[in-house]
Each structure stands twice: as structure tokens, then as C-alpha cells.
Amino acid sequence: MPRYVIDAIDRSILNLLQANGRISNHELAEQVGLSPSPCLRRVRQLEAAGLISGYVALLDPAALGLSVTAFVRVRLAEQGDRHLAAFESAVLALPEVMECYLMTGESDYQMRVLVGSLAEFEDFLRHKLTPISVV
């Protein structure tokens, strides 16, 4: 699949949409110096090319009562594909895990965990993470 080549206007559109995905097409067009129709056409092309894969709402963790962020390194019992897949599958079911990355070095994974308190974090460690069979 050929790469989509973006120009300065496309980059401006992407930057503005990344900062505010709810910006109106009219305002977006005004800020990038286009009329609304060509601007919308460019946005649709960027979507079709996969450069824009979706639009999301960013939540405020503190407003949701999630005030503790922890970075957790995990070492698996074994590193075979079966163990990696089992761990990744188990982690997908844990709503506290915001991000999970396969790593090199001393740890196999690093996760960003978001919870409401240190007690909830301890509960997460004791009752959700460590019982995963491959950990």
C-alpha cells in the first residue's frame, strides 16, 4: 500500500484535529486557510488513507476518582508466544490497565495502571495481576 503524502495544510489539519477533535469543519477550514468544501474533502481523504483512525473523548481521571497512576513492570515465568498471548489476553480484561507494552531487558512488559487509591492498587496487584498464571 503506497504511503499517503501529506503537505503543510494536511499537517495543520491533523494538528488541529488532534488538539480538538470536535472542531467544526468551518472553523477548521478557517484556521488552515481553505474554504469549507476543500477542507472537508481533505479530512475525508486523511480518514480514508488511515491517517485519522477515529475520534475519541479524553477523560479526566481525577474527576472519575482515579487519582493514582502506577507504572508496573512484569516479568513472565516464560517468554514463549503462548505465554505472551495468555498474558496479553488477561491484561485486556483488566480495566485498570491503561497501557501495556512488550519490553526488552529485565522486564517483559511495562503497564500504566490507573486506580482510585493505593489500597485499590494493592488490590489490583494481589487479586488481579499476580493470579495471572504466566506471571
Same domain, 89 and 124: yes
How many structural domains is the chain composed of?
A: 2
Same domain, 17 and 74: no
- The Cα–Cα gap between 22 and 16 comes to 10
- The Cα–Cα gap between 106 and 118 comes to 25
Q: What is the pLDDT of residues 59-109, one digit of tens each?
A: 999 999 999 999 999 999 999 999 999 999 999 999 999 999 999 999 999
Q: Is residue 2 pLDDT above 70, yes or no?
A: no
pLDDT of amino acid 16: 98
- Grid cell in block for residue 84: 505472551
pLDDT of amino acid 28: 99
CATH number, residue 17: 1.10.10.10
Range 7-36 average pLDDT: 98
Classify residue 53: in a domain, yes or no. Answer: no
Q: What is the pLDDT of residues 28-49, one digit of tens each?
A: 999 999 999 999 999 999 999 9
Give the domain extent around 42: 8-48
Range 104-131 average pLDDT: 98
pLDDT of amino acid 56: 93
- Grid cell in block for residue 5: 503524502
pTM, full prediction? 0.78
Q: Is residue 1 pLDDT above 70, yes or no?
A: no
